[in-house]
Chain A
Amino acid sequence: MSSVAGSSTRSRALSVGHAAGWAWGKLGDMLDGPFRALQRHIGAHRMAYVFLLPNILVFGLFSFWPMLLNFYIAFTGGQSVILSDRPFVGLDNFRELLNCPSYLDPKTCPVAGFSFWTGVWNTLFFAVVQVPVMIVTALITALILNREIRARGFWRAIYFYPVMLSPVVIAVTWDWVLKRRGILNALLENVVDGWNAFAGTTLFPFFLFTVLAIALSQLLARFSRPLAIGAALAIAPLVAWLVPHEVWSLPTYRPVNWLIDARSGWPTFWVIFVYTWGHLGFYMLILLAGLQAIPKDLYEAAEMDGTSRSRQFWRITLPLLAPTMIVVLVLSLIRAFQVFDEVYVLTGGGPGQATKMIVQHIYESAFIGDAKRYGIAAASSVLVAGVLLILTLAQLAATRKRAGG
């Protein structure tokens, strides 16, 4: 076996890829000695445990152990990272988080509870708004990219590309777009100014006339063709030349601090927008895979029966896509509850606490500021984990259903 590989590598050694492959193989051969000795010692079939060992070690140490540890830390206080230095405080952490005159109004809670409930409500609002927006947009995109359009691969790649970008890059990019002297304001200013300048020109009535005439004739063509053309030719010029152009010009645009003014609601809007922008391609891809699994002949048969497009969508596409939709729904819900990176870099949770998410509360209570309140953070994690566990189990059920169906 190895002699065959050896002779063939020599002839192809020029290529870098093969050189790397050759080195990779040699690396394995170097390790062969110790492993062979081990095998002689414990027997071939027990080598399975040796192969499993690194994975189990890392898993155990960095996944299972922390999971158990989380419950313990949630019942301890103090600021030490050394477990033996952490006094056991019982339910105090949970009491502080949950002891709140009004959960709906986090301002009434103690410090930790304030941060926690603000995070909870913001995250809930984020999830409730973002998930439907994401699913509908992803579905529309997937449906469009599943059509027989040219350069489909190119369009798919474009829509998928943001998924490749890191949250930090996404946040920096959109921060650059949205700041007061950012390009969105510049663009809107230019559009408004350009439109107003255009509305003042003598060319504008002709443009208005054409647009109005086409719109009117299209609208009325359903009833009667001569009427449509007559009305278009009669009403459009009246409107175009008699209405003063000031009516058509827009008010001067004032740049908006998109991410600063909490009362406007824009920070939350843009947080949702940017997150959707960054993750849409992922869900689109899953839905696309689901769409392609639907047999084509169903549509052909429907076409034969003269079934309308919309009816085909509601009666064939949607029911057959339902399992995929459920997976997407649960997956996007789980992800939405864990949102942190994009929002943290984009707004830092601000303005004020307007976009502070639950994960940011966990992060900040444990790692930011002088008081490292690991106990509070762990207790919050336990509460969040409960919600996530339910969602994840729902996802498992959904996945199993999909695999079974």
Chain B
Amino acid sequence: MTHGPAQVRAALAEAHRAEWGVVFGTIVRLTGDWELAEDCAQEAFTRALPAWEREGVPRRPGAWLVTAARHRAVDVLRRRTTERAKLAEVAALRADHEPQPVEDERLRLIFTCCHPALPLESRVALTLRAVGGLTTREIARAFLTGEDTVSQRILRAKRKIAAAAIPYRVPLPGARAERLHGVLAVIYLIFNEGYAPSEGSTTRDALAEEAIRLARLVTAEAPGEPEARGLLALLLLQHSRRAARIGADGELVTLEHQDRTRWDHALVTEGVDLARRAATAGGPYALQAAVAAQHALAPTAALTDWRTIVELYDRLLALRSNPVVALNRAVAVGMRDGPQAQLDAVDELGAPRQLAGNHAVPAVRADALRRLGRLTEAAQSYRAAQAIAPNGAIAREYARQLAALGEPGSTDARPAGRTADHTQSDA
């Protein structure tokens, strides 16, 4: 069956999203050469377009691409004359008789790219490049860094993998739980950069979607890991609110004021279901997902089950003391027990190092003070929050809060929100 050019292009784009990691990973496994694997994967996708237009989209695009990439690898290795190339060539040829593609290729790739001996920023860049198939330009754009910086990071990571002999495999069961944590942290980091960029635009959905895709991969290929499921649930629930988080004026809308009909209910359903199944194991991602699920299940902000949310935060804090979680718990306590309880809970936190310079601390304090009617102090705290807001959208939100208190500096008369969309920073 032949396809029109548009269909072929769509099929190829889908194959790129779904199969890049498999194609790339297979060549890495066979030859141990990351440079070669990248060239060959690239070449296979380039050749696919004319071939598929001519012969139709293959039934198993992944297998077609792996075969094309492998042939290319053998060609390149034949032209090289070193002994190592000969050995690699034999390995690549022998694989002709193996069933392929190997199921856990991408999992192996994710674990190698997220190896803890690599610098964190290299892990992120390498994972997006090798597993997600993003170009260095796309990665640079997403992280607002130079293309040169990204290629340097990837190059350095590939060099270290080769020089220090970082193995290409999924760790043995004993070490797996430990390493999985690092993998999930990298995926979460990628998501957060898409969900709440450190600067510039308010969201970058493509990056958030890539993180969700990676989380799906890990969940599907490591089904016995409740924390992987917990992370996926958390990401789906946060991503389900993307349309409602940005108002008509392009500003961030807090959870309390979001139009819940604009949430992506398919993602909410999937996320809540996953969160339920992960919750029994009670790991940190599963518990955060359970908090997000509580918000998702509340028909209105006012009907949120704050009692359960406070309990979930208590369980999170019992796992590991974390000032960001403690701050979010203070907000939940405030919603359950009123503004004085919120103020007490914030002041109880003291000034932990990890919260130094965090705009949410004065903001949560300001919110409690405003609700207590201590408006001058509230304004003071909002000004402090505004001064250290990480991006323009958040700074404008605080300007609005100040305006609602009758402070000058904004023409927006929208009522003040109570809380920031706080679940995203529970890392």
- Same assembly: no
